[in-house]
Amino acid sequence: MSQVSSADAGCVVLQVDSSGPVSLSRLRRVELPSGRVTELGKLDYLVDAMGYARSQDLVYGIASRDRHGWLHRRPHLVTINRQGLVRDLGEVRRGVGGVAAPTAGAVAGHRLYLRDGLRLFTMDIDPDSTTYKSVLRVVRLKPVLGALTVDDLAADPVSGFLYGISTVGAGPAKVVSVDPGSGTVRAVADVRGVPSTASYTSVVLSGRALYAVHTRPGSRSRAVRIALSGEVREVTSWEPVWTGDAAGCLQQVPTPPPPPPTPTPRPPTASPPPSPTQTPRPPSPPPTVRPPSPPPPGVRPPSPRPPNARPPSSTPPNRRPVSPGPSPRPTATTPLPTPTEAAELPVRPTPSPTPRPTSRPLPPLVTPPVVSVAPRMAAVPEEPDDTVLVLRRWSLATLLMILTGAAAMAAQRRMRR
């Protein structure tokens, strides 16, 4: 037996096997010719007679037992996807004949072919058909000796024939073809160098060669690649199993494109320095208002008056006639004492100074972050302060009253003489 060539086309299959006559199936994905195995878990059914529907990317099979026991010769049709999810489609419709316990299966187009003893069933598996899950045809296989030992089938989409491995026991194993229309079984080639007893329970077609697994209880399972011409190449081997089946080759799923590379963030571009501009000047502070100087002692500050008001008259309200003189002068209401008299002029209490108006503190000047010349604010014109003018007028009026009173007293003294 020659070793497998690296030029062999790859094939991925879904394979089921069981460790005993009443054990439920174990599902795994096998990559051929490398023999790499991916376990997909334990099923809730004992599945056999599987075939791969390429157009649906599903494996169809027949379940003859579930977790509650045997299905009493009323098997269920199930589907298995490539992730290992099983869907129970219910009891197989009998149509023109009943399916009891098939041991070999294959799919070509929308037809599932099942070998049950010496009969070959053709079942419709087109979900859009009105006869979905129904048996459309039943033919008897012949000759009997070559048909009974074919335990799995693979469909050739080009010729429409089914292929399998027959082990009669007398002589080498043989590659056989089955005509699904007539049920005729014909030997294609002898296969030497492989066991010719027991059975090949898992058979799939890849190109012009068969991948087959020889199963015998108590012996390791051997996977071989058998050309339709009879040439054999060893692939791999597994632990002993009771029985099994396989379906494929699964169509290759396109590899998703790699994610686009993450763009490298660009370093931040340094912004050009701002063009030199004139620094805005802060607005001119308001003029400082100086408080008026306090009036001299003994002088009563004038009461505030409205603008453009006339100053009070300096002439006392009462006058009296005086002796003829150069000209009549006004007489003060209260005569001033002579220098010889000890009487002093009454001093009026100095009124408390008027409190200064509290000026509100100006808010701190904050230079606005604007790169433009801020217009200057026009200075508020200072209102004229006439306090000094009013004080001067009062001072002149007081001096005039003093001089007038002194002149009147001097005139009286001259008259007494």
What does the alpha-carbon distance between residue 223 and residue 242 come to, in Å, rounded to a whole number? 15
| 249: preceding bond cis by omega (within 30 degrees) | yes
Same domain for 314 and 193, yes or no, is no
Decide: 220 and 238 in contact? Cβ < 8 Å.
yes
Structural domain contains residue 53: yes
Q: Which of 214, 247, 280 is the last residue of a domain?
A: 247
79: in domain: yes
Tell me: do 168 and 314 sit in the same domain: no
Same domain, 220 and 105: yes
CB 400 within 8 A of CB 314: yes
Q: Residues 315, 230: one domain?
A: no
- Distance in angstroms (rounded) separating the CA atoms of residues 93 and 136: 10
Are 208 and 315 within one domain?
A: no
Is 161 part of a structural domain of the chain?
A: yes
pLDDT at 367: 58
Give me the CATH number covering residue 97.
Answer: 2.120.10.80
Range of the domain at 119: 8-247
| Residue 143 forms part of a structural domain | yes
pLDDT at 88: 94
Say what the alpha-carbon torsion angle 95, 97, 99, 100 is, to the nearest 10 degrees: 130
Predicted local confidence at residue 412, as pLDDT: 77
The last residue of one of the domains, among 229, 247, 265, is: 247
| Shared domain check, 315 and 166 | no
3-state SS of 161-196 is CEEEEECCCCCCEEEEEECCCCCEEEEEEEECCCCC
Residue 292 within a domain: no
- Whether 297 maps to a domain, the answer reads no
Paired strand residues for 225: 211, 233
pLDDT, residue 176, reads 93
User: Which regions in the chain score pLDDT beneath 70?
Assistant: 1-9, 93-97, 169, 254-257, 265, 267-386, 416-417
What pLDDT is recorded for position 394?
Answer: 79
Q: Based on the structure, what is the number of domains in the chain?
A: 2
Same structural domain for residues 171 and 39?
yes
Tracing tokens 């098997």 back to the chain, one arrives at 75
